[in-house]
Every structure is written in C-alpha cells, then in structure tokens.
Amino acid sequence: MTAARRTGPPSLILSWRPALRAAPVLDTTVAGILRTAAADAPDVTALVQGAPDPTDRRRWSYGELAAAAERAALALVARFDAGERVAVWAPSLPESLMLSYAAAMAGLVLVPVNPALRAGEVAHILRQSGAAGLFLVPQFRGHDLAGALGSIRADLPGLRHVESLTASGWEAFCADSDADAPGALLRRDPSAGDLAQLIYTSGTTGTPKGALLTHRGMTNAARFGAERFGMGAGDVYVHTMPLHHVGGQVVSFQICQQRATAVLLESFDPGLVLELIDSERATLTCGVPTMLLAMIEHDDMAVRDLSSLRSVSGGGSVVPAELVRYIEDTLGVRFTVVFGQTEASGFISQTELDDPDEEKAATLGRPLPGIEARVVDPETDSVVAVGAMGELQVRGPNVMAGYHDLPDETAEALLPDGWLRTGDLVTMDGGGVLRMVGRRKEMIVSGGENLFPVEIENALCLHPRVVQAAVVGVPDRRWGEAAVAFVRLAPGAEVDPMVLEGFLRQRLAGFKVPRRWVFVDSFPLTASGKIQKFVLRDRLPEGD
C-alpha cells in the first residue's frame, strides 16, 4: 500500500495515506470487550492494584472484574437513565476502572475528570456536560475534593447523585440496587456507535471542550495500538497513564482485549513503577518523557531487576530522539512512540518496534490501521505534496462524534466528510511516516498534560500588579515542553515569581503553572498590536 494518492498530473505525489485494512474495524463496545475477555479467560489475572505495600495489592481475574462491573452497573441502572452523564473525579483506583466498564454496561456516558483540577475548573465540566452523577474521593494529594464540591454544588442543579469512590463507599453503592437483574443490563447494552465517554480537552481559547467518543472508536483504537505494540496474552503491563486522561482509558481497553494483566498505579511514582516491574515481572509499561526520565534517574534503577521488561511505549508529548535511544540503551527494551489526541480516541499513529533507529527516534510513525491520514494546506484544505509541511487531518472510527453541545467548534474541527483537523503541523514521506513540525494552535504539552496559554495569561492578569502576560512553550528534555511566562508589571511594581506561582495555584491546577518567569518592560508587537510570541521564544536561548 502506498502512502500517497495520485491525483491530477501523474508526476504529482500527494501526502495522503489510505486506511490500511489488514486489521478490520470491529463493532466492539467497552462493555462487550470485558464480557468477552471474561468468557474467554475467566481465571486470567486482569487487574492488580499497584499499591506501595505488596500486602495491600488486591487482584481480580477477568471473571471477577466482569462480575464486579456488572454489579456496579445494576446500581447505576437503578439511579440513572440511559445516556445520562456520570463523572468520576478521582485518581486511578481499581474502582475507577470498574466504573469505566460499569457505566458502559449501564448505557451511560462516562466523564473522567482530573483530580488536580480546582473547584471552578470542575464546575465548568460538570455544568457543561450536564453530569447527573459524580463519583469522587474525599482528598487527593492534599486537595480537598469534597470541600471543593461543597463550594460549587449549589450551582449544579442537574447533579442528582454524589457517591464516594473509596473502597467502602464503592461497596455501599454497589450493594444498594433495586434493578431488575435479569433484564436490566440487557436492555441497556450499548451499540458500537453509541457514545462511551465524554473527555474534556481545551481549545485555543482555554475553555475546556468535551470530545464525544464512541465505543467503536475507543475499542478499535485501543486494539490497533496494542497490536502494533506487540501486546498479547500473558503480558503484564504496569499501567502509569491516569484514567482521567484518554490515554489511561484506552490503554486499559488495550490490555483487556489482549487478555493481558494491568498493574494499575493510583498516581505515578517512579520508585514504585520500578518496584512493580521487578516484583510483578512486568513485560510492558508506558509513560510520557517526564515519567520515563524520572524512572531512569531514580536511585532504585541500580537495585531493581528489570530483566522481564520487553517494551516501553511513550507519548503524550513530543518524545525527543535522544530520549528514545537513551531509554532503549538504558533499559534494554524496544520503544514505540504513540501519537494522538483526545479528539481521535488518543491514537493516530505509532512507530513499529522494529522500525529503523532513525525512524523510531525521530518520527511519529505511520497511521494505525483503519485510520486515513492526509497533510493539507491549513488555509485551503488542499492536500500538499509528499515532504511538504501542512496540517494533519485524519478520518476513521477513532475520530470523535463532535464536541458536546458546541456546534460551532465541532464544525471548525470536523469537515462534513468526516476529516478531523488535528491542528498539528507535520510532514509525510513516501512511506506514510509522519514527522512533527509544530502546532498550529498554541497548546503546550508539558509532562503529558495540555496547557493553553490564554487560560494562564487570563489568570495571571487578575493579579493587581500584572498589566500584561504572554505564555509560550519551549522544548524541555524532562517535560517535553515547558511553559514560560513573560510578565509586564504595573509601573513601579515588584513581585516575586513565587508570589505569582501561589496566586495561580489558587485558580488553576498545579500543572498549568509556568516553570520559568521572565519580567519585561514591553512586548514585541505586530502592526496590529498582537504580541509576537515567536520573538519572545527566540530570545530565551540568548539569555534575554
């Protein structure tokens, strides 16, 4: 299969790769993949709670996990109508994963929410999604989630049920069900084209948008990615991606469809990951560059037996070529780079484990099966020649159904014939291999989290001493990209960067706070008065 399609003059080769059909698109659902795994491999270990203390590590077989999810689904059916939204505001607990499957079995739409988000940020998501239910933990890393919910609950009249996701709270919830067990779940069984999850990302305005992802899209994207990763029955996967992220959800569905074992971390800890690889004899793991560097640089690297580890998957941000080589050499593994976005169910392209070193270390790989990709002129949507830079557009089952209740934003992102504008600037070679050039949008991906300059700038300008602010992203070996804030203060004003950091942390999640601060007397401007951010970015290496 060639990577390009010939149109017009025979000599013109365009950056257009048809969808590969070697692996068919299946009409699978999140509910169905767990039930099938339970029927095929009921006694295989499906889930291990990756607790720091080995004596606290609970384990479930596929049969047990499916039974637990169905029990929870019956409790959900008793409280919620089909199609309603149920949010989960918690770290990656076993109960969080059970809720992913249970919501699907109950015909509900799951809304994962980052536990680091603050009250105002969560209020927008719950309100915009129309969430009728919320599962949460009381606290996470010193953040009082229960208190934050109390401060916004009066502004959420549609939120009928709030449930605890602690082990005891979850048990009490599952035990309280009046549903008609024989037929309740059968009547709610979802179809492949139904909505499975509503996962929030942010746009260039900084306002979170909810991507509507289908069962078919999430499960097929997961299966295609798992097969390219070489995952199979018997593999043990230390699962580091958070379940509030599309990557965490889809990796879970990868593991399930391949009948592998998920060792689920509540939140990332490099020493714990190394210990779990050693003690659980893990064969696979994943992480954004920040995570992988933290593991390699950890003191326990020298004392842990990592010989069982075969392959590592990386993504979430641009993975530097030197880091790919460093990981393979240090861990003695094969590495694959995954590229995607929430609007595409987390997966667009991926390198092969056996790709040449240069290709694996410097590209985004080829589109996954079932996904059609083309590179276009951002202004005209005309396909550019092979090797020319343009915006990547993709089409396939993985593409979202749209943004929830945002018709204008949906029309801007999705063309009428199904193509998704990714906003990423890439090149495509004659073999269909994609190379990242930059982002059409200003989004910064730092440590696997999405940062949007306008949101940070607006929050900064609320400080009484800040007159103007501009936030840019710069390459960073550890974080992939790091946010740098350029700040112009009021005349005669002074303020310590730590004060501004504290100011932002009261209003935004911690990962959105810039890592570097530069105070300026003025900004370089265009003729129309817009800040020239590329000039600011270029000044940094000069020490200005």
**In which residue ranges of the chain is CATH 3.30.300.30 found?**
444-542
| Token pair 């990796």: residue | 251
Higher pLDDT, 306 or 530: 306
State the average pLDDT over residues 462-485.
89
For the stretch 314-368, pLDDT in tens is 876 566 677 788 888 888 999 999 999 999 999 999 999 998 877 777 789 999 9
| Mean predicted lDDT score pLDDT of the chain | 90
**In which residue ranges of the chain is CATH 3.40.50.12780 found?**
30-428
How far apart CA 288 and CA 291 sit, in angstroms, is: 5
State the average pLDDT over residues 388-413.
96
pLDDT higher than 70, residue 378:
yes
pLDDT higher than 70, residue 481:
yes
pLDDT higher than 70, residue 248:
yes
Q: What is the value of pTM for the model shown?
A: 0.84
- Return the closest-CA partner of residue 4 out of 374, 370, 351: 374
Coil vs helix vs strand at 7: coil
pLDDT higher than 60, residue 542:
no
- How many CB atoms sit inside 10 A of residue 464's CB? 10
Walk across the sheet containing 85-89 and list its strands. Answer: 161-164, 133-136, 85-89, 109-113, 195-202, 208-214, 402-403
Query: CATH fold of 30-428, please?
Result: Rossmann fold (3.40.50)
For the stretch 60-93, pLDDT in tens is 999 999 999 999 999 999 999 999 999 999 999 9
**pLDDT score of 85:** 98
- When mean pLDDT is compared across 7-21, 67-81, 400-414, 508-522, the lowest value belongs to 7-21
Query: CATH fold of 444-542, please?
Result: GMP Synthetase; Chain A, domain 3 (3.30.300)
Taking CA atoms, 449 is separated from 65, 260, 277, in Å, by 29, 27, 24
Cα–Cα–Cα angle for 201, 203, 207, rounded to 5 degrees: 80
For the stretch 417-429, pLDDT in tens is 999 999 888 899 9
Q: What's the Rg (C-alpha) of the chain? A: 23
Percent of the chain residues topping a pLDDT of 90: 70
